């Protein structure tokens, strides 16, 4: 099962701009129960522990959680740039627009990351896993998993009212 959401909800201890959302944790617990999950994988980029990691530890103890994404410091070891995108400021001189920005995504680096995630998932031992990733990866990674002959269910969770 693939679960796409905002990284701000993942509760990564070393993350920035975290939003405390009890519903996020409740949803993970519900998915574990209803989908018979026995392992959690996550795009946490070495910023954990995360909410999901803590839940996995509580449910099953050690060795049932894996952060599949290398930290920014480790990415060059995998031929991936540390920064996989860059901000495009729309108008830094206009006070109304100074907070507005767009973000260029470096597609090739995201492809390399997702390919690495897939290899790490294939090396993990589980019956049914929950993979948590940023919402931007939900469909592309779903397609990648399906191409690797893995069953995929995709769930999107984005409580915009809590993030703004």
pLDDT-derived band at 106, boundaries 50, 70, 90: very high
Spatial distance between the Cα atoms of 125 and 96, rounded to a whole number of angstroms? 50
- Residues 46-79: pLDDT tens digits? 999 999 999 999 999 999 999 999 999 999 999 9
Spatial distance between the Cα atoms of 81 and 157, rounded to a whole number of angstroms? 28
Spatial distance between the Cα atoms of 90 and 83, rounded to a whole number of angstroms? 20
* pLDDT computed for residue 87 by the predictor: 86
| 99 or 50, greater pLDDT | 50
* pLDDT computed for residue 96 by the predictor: 67
Q: Could you write out the three-class secondary structure of 20-32?
A: CCHHHHHHHHHHH
pLDDT-derived band at 101, boundaries 50, 70, 90: confident
Question: Is the pLDDT reported for residue 88 higher than 90?
Answer: no
H helix or E strand, kind and range, residue 105:
strand 101-105
* pLDDT computed for residue 3 by the predictor: 98
Average pLDDT, the chain: 95
Specify whether the CB–CB gap between 145 and 68 falls below 8 A. no
Q: What percent of the chain has pLDDT over 90?
A: 89
* pLDDT computed for residue 131 by the predictor: 98
């Amino acid at each position: 099962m693939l679960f796409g959401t905002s990284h701000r909800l993942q509760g990564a201890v070393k993350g920035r701009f975290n939003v405390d959302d009890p519903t996020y944790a409740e949803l993970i617990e519900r998915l574990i129960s209803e989908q018979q999950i026995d392992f959690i994988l996550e795009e946490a980029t070495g910023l954990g522990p995360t909410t999901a990691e803590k839940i996995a530890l509580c449910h099953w103890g050690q060795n049932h959680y894996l952060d599949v994404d290398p930290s920014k410091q480790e990415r060059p070891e995998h031929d991936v740039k540390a920064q996989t995108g860059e901000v495009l400021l729309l108008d830094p001189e206009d006070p109304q627009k100074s907070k507005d920005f767009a973000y260029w995504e470096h597609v090739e680096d995201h492809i390399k990351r997702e390919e690495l995630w897939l290899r790490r998932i294939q090396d993990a031992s589980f019956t049914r896993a929950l993979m948590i990733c940023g919402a931007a990866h939900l469909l592309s990674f779903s397609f990648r998993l399906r191409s690797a002959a893995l069953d995929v269910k995709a769930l999107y969770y984005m409580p915009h009212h809590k993030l703004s």
